[in-house]
Amino acid sequence: MSTMELSEKIQELRELRRMAEELEQGITGIEDTIKAHMTAQGTDTLTGYDYKITWKAMKSTRFDSAAFKSTHAELYQQYSKQTESRRFVVA
* Model confidence pLDDT, tens digit, residues 58-77: 999 999 999 999 999 999 99
* Model confidence pLDDT, tens digit, residues 26-57: 999 999 999 999 999 999 999 999 999 999 99
This prediction has a pTM of 0.74
Question: Where in the chain are the domains?
Answer: 3-79
H/E run at residue 46 = strand 45-47
